[in-house]
Amino acid sequence: MEQQRLGGSDLVVSRVGLGCNNFGRRLDLERSRAVIEAAIAAGITFLDTADIYGTGESERFIGETLAGRSDDAVVATKFGNDMHGLNGDAPGGSREYARRAVDASLERLRREHIDLLYYHRPDGITPLEETLGAMHELVVEGKVRWLGLSNVGIDALETAARLAAAGSSPVVAVQNHYSLVNREDDALVARAEELGIGYIPYFPLASGLLTGKYRRGQAHPEGARLTGDDRLSDERIGRMEQLERFAESRGHTILELAIGGLASIPGVASVIAGATSPEQVRANAAAGAWHLDPSELDELEAV
C-alpha cells in the first residue's frame, strides 16, 4: 500500500484508509478487531473514527486492539457531534466541549495524543475561530498533533489558513462527502490543494452504489443500504453503468475505479472506505493500487 504525507504535516498515511464508523454499531469488538488486523496486514495505516461512532465504542475497540502498538497506525478522530450529554451540554464547537471531548477520546483510545483531530461538523453557533483556538491549545499541550475539519466549505478553509498565518496550528486535512457520483466538492478539493491541505473523501462507494451490487431491472440486494432508497434513481444507476464501462474497458472493476480513481485526483490524500469484514478490507486496499494517469483522469472527467 502506497504511503504519502498528509498535507503540511509529518503524518504519513496510506492511500486507502479504514473508516471505523461500523465499530460498536454493526460490529462488536471481535469483528472490529478482525477488520483492523486485516487492514494493517494489507498495508492500511490510517484509521478514521469519531467519538460519536457507537457512542464511544469505535474508539474503545481501536484502543483495545492497538493497545501498546501506537506505531502501527495513524489514528484520526472527531469531536463536536451530539454524544448524548457524555461531554456536557456546551455547544459542540466550544472550548469547553472540545477539551472534554478530547480527554474522553484519549482515554478510550488508550493513547497519549491524537494524531489527527477533526472538528466533526460546525455547530452553527460557535465561531470557527473559537473552535480552532481551542484545538490549537490542545496541540500546544501535546494532546493533539495535527488538526482537521470535516463537513465544511471553502470559507472554513480560508478562515483556517488565515489563523495559521497568524500563528495558530494549521489545518492539514479536510474530510467531506465525495465520490465519483458526488462531485460537488470539486472546487474545494482544488482550493485545499492550493492551501496545502490534504483532502480526504468519505463515502467513496456512494453507500454501495459503486460496488456493482445494484443492477438496472434486477431486484436489489435485501438489507443493502440503498435498497428502497430514493437516491437509487434510474439516473444514478445510469451514471454507475457509465463508470463501470469506463473501468471494464481498462481491465478494472467499478470498485477499483471508485477508490483508485478517486485517490488519483490531485489533492486527494487518502480515501476513507468502511468495511464490515476482512474480505472487504482487502478488496478496498487492492482497489487503491490503480493509479489513473492524467489522460485517463481527463477521460474520467468527460464521463
E strands in the chain: 3-5, 12-14, 16-19, 46-48, 74-79, 114-119, 144-150, 171-177, 198-202, 271-274
Separation between Cα atoms, residue 204 and residue 214, nearest integer Å: 16
Helices (H), 215-263: 234-248, 254-256, 262-263
Burial environment of residue 302 by CB neighbours within 10 A (0 to 12, 13 to 18, 19 or more): exposed
Sign of the four-CA dihedral 133, 134, 135, 137: positive
What would the grid cell of residue 269 be? 490524500
- Does residue 214 carry a catalytic annotation? no
What would the grid cell of residue 270 be? 487518502
Separation between Cα atoms, residue 230 and residue 209, nearest integer Å: 13
Given the residues 53, 97, 202, 214, select the one marked as catalytic.
53
Q: Name which of 158, 155, 263, 251 is nearest 205 in CA terms.
A: 263
The partner residues of 149 in beta bridges, in order of sequence, read: 119, 174
Which residues form the catalytic set? 53
